[in-house]
Amino acid sequence: MTVAVDIRVPMGLPLPALIDFIRGCEQAGFHGVGLHDHHHIGRDCYVVLGIAAASTSRLSLYPVTSNTVTRHPLVLAALANSLAEFAPRRTCITLGPGFLSVEAAGESRATIDDLRRAVRAIRALLAGETAEFKGVPVRLRNHPSGKLPVLLTASGPRLLELAGEVADGAVMLVGLDPQMVAAARRHLAAGAERAGRNPKDLLEIFITPIAVGDRAVMCQWPRQWFRPGQPWLEYPSRSNLHWLRYAGIDLPPGHNPASISEAQAEAICDRLGLFGPAEYCAERLLRAQEEAGVERVFLFPAHTAATSYELPWAEVEAFRRVIGPRLRA
């Protein structure tokens, strides 16, 4: 396939039905599935990932995204190794400072320095090396026999540079526009070069918002609120506004979504992701591959806080019928 395509699957169904849905994603031709790591939903993503690994044969499976506040780095390393034993060479772990799970637990997000230490520790443990926690040396008795990538989920410049410095790559929300992608890559490379690493060795997965349907209707998303007080364009962070400036679209933080014109919303959607009929989405993805060298994407179905856990039935069907076959053609 021209572009490897993964998709976000929220845990909005009881586990048996959710596993059936994930099997359906494999049958539809997806490269991978990423599950959110939200504790307050009452379903643990690593339990689901383990069952899914035993229930599929080729699907890449990973959390999007785990945090190092509510899960200790030692625990995360053990979870990642357990998943790798079920699904060797088809999993990774993605980490971030924390958002909804940290918020729900009444905790603060991890600082850049905390995240740096945690990523280094997890990578060391998964490589069979010794890490140290509060002066105590720790080593996993069992660890992956092959490489298990540790990625940072990054939407802003600082996290991208940290990913280049200490991680195996980044799951990044920076849009598909070539100027936006190039700007993000400069930050990724800056972090890598600061640590004496080769940026070309880093894995890139592009978080790609998607809304399948009538283009005029789907392009209304930037004109909505994610939740009261938070514009849709500022979810999960305001960094969307930062990258859009590289494409000539300048919106102030805390903007009123209703102030965005329909023409401006259409331009925003074209630069950020895939918004429109399935045929349009397929061609836009191929254009991103040609113009910006995008080789792997993580489809992020458009939603609000109220619809966060609705499963992407329409997107899976559109991929099965139209997008996947077009990418393979």
**Calpha distance 57→46 (Å, rounded):** 17
**Calpha distance 45→54 (Å, rounded):** 14
Residue recorded with tokens 């586990």: 15
Judge contact between 178 and 292, C-beta under 8 A.
yes
SS3 216: helix
SS (H, E, C) 123-151: HHHHCCCCEEECCEEECCCCCCCCCCCEE
Judge contact between 186 and 139, C-beta under 8 A.
no
Q: Where are the beta strands (DSSP E) in the chain?
A: 4-9, 32-35, 60-63, 66-67, 93-96, 131-133, 136-138, 150-154, 169-172, 203-212, 225-227, 230-231, 274-276, 296-301
For the stretch 313-324, pLDDT in tens is 999 999 999 999
Percent of the chain with pLDDT over 70: 97
Model-level pTM?
0.96
Half-sphere exposure for 187 (CA within 13 Å, toward CB): 21
Residues 179-185: what's their mean pLDDT?
98
For the stretch 69-93, pLDDT in tens is 888 999 999 999 999 999 999 999 9
Judge contact between 260 and 222, C-beta under 8 A.
yes
Judge contact between 212 and 218, C-beta under 8 A.
yes
For the stretch 119-164, pLDDT in tens is 999 999 999 999 999 899 999 999 999 899 999 999 999 999 999 9
